[in-house]
Amino acid sequence: MELTQTDESLMLAVKNGNLSKASILFDRYNKHLYNFFVKITMDREVGEDLTQNVFLRMIKYKHTFQKGSTFKSWIFRIARNAQADYYRKREKMQTKDVELNTFASDVLVKEDELAKSEQEKLLYIALFRLKAEQREIILLSKFEKLKYEDIATIYDTSISAIKTRVHRAIGDLKKVFFELEKI
Amino acid sequence: MIMKDQDIAEKIAAYLSGDLSKHEVYEVETLISENQKWKNEHEDQEKLLTLMDSVSCLEPPARMKNDFEKMLLKENQRPEPLKRVRYWNSSKLWWQVAASLAILALGYFIGISIHKNTTNDQILALQKEMNATKQLVITSLKAESASARLKAVNTSNEMKMMDEDILIALINTLNTDKNVNVRIASLEALSQFADQEHVRKALIESLSTQNEPTIQIVLIHLLVQLNEKRALAPLEKMMNDKNTMETVRDEASFGVFKLS
């Protein structure tokens, strides 16, 4: 029965007060969100807190979910806001070289537990050399496999604009990754 | 048209993502087969995409589900928001208040339309009416019956123009009324005037004195919504106070998270 229910119908039930349905949505999305957050912050604890925070917001702002919306876009938009709040708090979202280097060192310490190979480790460091939005877009598109239309909804822009951003981000990531590989 | 290197690299990324038209696919494939530089670019990007596909998926800790279920349970136990009680349903007293307000409104519009001809006597009469209504509300806020006090708060809530004395009376009600519903209603009425500094200050101060969880939670939500940073200190205190109910402490910590 649960499997046949769409994310959207479950969320509409939650919106109408049937909070038990939120549990199914948690099961479907907690892994996605956890991976998104841990890979974007390189911190399991922060990833856990932010994932919990998203589900807390899901309940708190359930009234904002509209019929006809895609749940995945809606929940990842909440996730984006949650992580933006986190970065605002930590003031680490800047891409200045000095801060990047410090943050890259943090990553070097933390990624040992997250990355299984040297290549994965390099990939995460390369991701951190990108602009914050590029990093986010790659994680959504290539790691969490969100469709272009879902990402476009999250960013409130057109599908073609998102496609261009994804392609550019991959080009830039490739450049940084292979530069790092040479070191 | 001559393409820049970056444009070609992006085109290759689009090709690997399956985002190109048949014609563009042909163009890119020709380029890759004829040009070593772009052949390498294609190979590198392909390698990177394969790496991204193979990245390990992390398992969230099992306690997350338990924490979420606990949070859901608390949410289910949370009382429904208090519905506003209409005051014009019973007693004679409240018909009088309603009638006074109607007269006030009528007087106001008549006053506007015949502004130039308004005599001092008329203005005085209007002021007299306003004062009478105000006194009625303030007196009723001190009434013995909780329902009378609740109606007084709701009446004040209906007033478009809030009088300073009524605001002070409402703050007093919020902090001292014995009845929780009356206190919540006064909080609801005050929230509409939270742009006034003294009201806002009173709301922050009230956070430290309230001990009823429902009111504490509504207050926290309101202050977070107002982005009131001065609430951080009392919220942190609340968060660490073991005598405060766990649900309230959770809300306080969420408030601290949002305001920090």
The yes-or-no verdict on residue B136 having pLDDT over 70 is: yes
pLDDT of B80 reads 56
Q: Taking CB atoms and an 8 Å cutoff, what residues of chain A touch B60?
A: 30-31, 34, 48, 51
Tell me if chain A has a CB within 8 Å of the CB of B41.
yes
pLDDT of B258 reads 78
Sequence letter at residue A47: G
The yes-or-no verdict on residue B248 having pLDDT over 70 is: yes
Nearest residue of chain A to residue B19 (CA atoms): A163
pLDDT of B91 reads 55
From the list B48, B57, B254, the residue facing A174 with the nearest CB is: B48
Lowest mean pLDDT among A29-38, A66-75, B102-111, B244-253: B102-111
CB within 8 Å: A35 and B57: yes
pLDDT of A12 reads 96
Largest CA distance in chain B: 97
Tell me if chain B has a CB within 8 Å of the CB of A177.
yes
Q: Taking CB atoms and an 8 Å cutoff, what residues of chain A touch B69?
A: 23
Size of interface A-B (CB pairs under 8 A): 103
pTM: 0.57
Please name the helix (run of DSSP H) or strand (run of DSSP E) that holds residue B204, with its range, or none: helix B197-209
From the list A120, A166, A170, the residue facing B55 with the nearest CB is: A120
The yes-or-no verdict on residue A110 having pLDDT over 90 is: no
Most confident of A14-28, B135-149, B160-174: A14-28
Dist CA B215 CA B195 (whole Å) = 20
The dihedral over CA atoms of A27, A28, A32, A37, expressed in degrees to the nearest 10, equals -50
Residues 6 or more apart whose Cβ sits within 8 Å of residue B235: B207, B220, B223, B252, B253, B255, B256, B259
CB within 8 Å: A123 and B69: no
Q: Rounded to a whole number, what is the distance in Å from the CA of A154 to chain B's nearest CA?
A: 20
Tell me if chain B has a CB within 8 Å of the CB of A27.
yes
Structure-token match 């106001």, residue found: B108
pLDDT of B117 reads 59
CB within 8 Å: A19 and B58: no
Match domain B137-259 to its CATH number in 1.25.10.10, 3.40.50.80, 1.10.540.10, 3.50.50.60.
1.25.10.10
Nearest residue of chain B to residue A116 (CA atoms): B56
3-class state of residue A18 by DSSP: coil
- pLDDT tens for B179-227 read 888 888 888 888 888 888 888 999 999 988 888 888 888 888 888 888 8
- Residue B119 pLDDT class (50, 70, 90 cuts): low
User: Rg for chain B (alpha carbons), in Å?
Assistant: 32
CB within 8 Å: A166 and B13: yes
Q: Quick one: how far is CA B132 from the chain centroid?
A: 34
The yes-or-no verdict on residue B122 having pLDDT over 70 is: no
Q: Taking CB atoms and an 8 Å cutoff, what residues of chain A touch B52?
A: 123, 138, 142-143
pLDDT of B34 reads 93
Reference B104, options B59, B146, B161, B145; nearest CA is B161
Which of A170, A172, A180, A181 to mutate to probe the B interface, most B CBs <10 Å? A170
- pLDDT tens for A47-56 read 999 999 999 9
Q: Evaluate whether A22 touches A59 at the Cβ level (below 8 Å).
A: yes
Residues 6 or more apart whose Cβ sits within 8 Å of residue B200: B194, B226, B228
pLDDT of B215 reads 85
Q: Taking CB atoms and an 8 Å cutoff, what residues of chain B touch A174?
A: 9, 13, 41, 44-45, 48
Mean pLDDT of the residues in chain A? 85
pLDDT of B160 reads 56
A42: left (phi over 0), alpha (psi -120 to 50) or beta: left
Dist CA B123 CA B114 (whole Å) = 12
The yes-or-no verdict on residue A91 having pLDDT over 70 is: no
CB within 8 Å: A30 and B10: no
Cα-Cα-Cα-Cα dihedral sign, residues A58, A59, A65, A71: positive
Q: Residue ranges per domain, chain B?
A: 5-125, 137-259
- Residue A71 pLDDT class (50, 70, 90 cuts): very high
The two tokens of residue B126 are 């209007």
pLDDT of B96 reads 62
CB within 8 Å: B55 and A27: no
Dist CA B239 CA B247 (whole Å) = 10
The yes-or-no verdict on residue B157 having pLDDT over 80 is: no
The yes-or-no verdict on residue A164 having pLDDT over 60 is: yes
In B38-58, which positions are buried (b, 16+ CB within 10 angstroms) versus exposed (e)? beebbebbeebbebbeebeeb
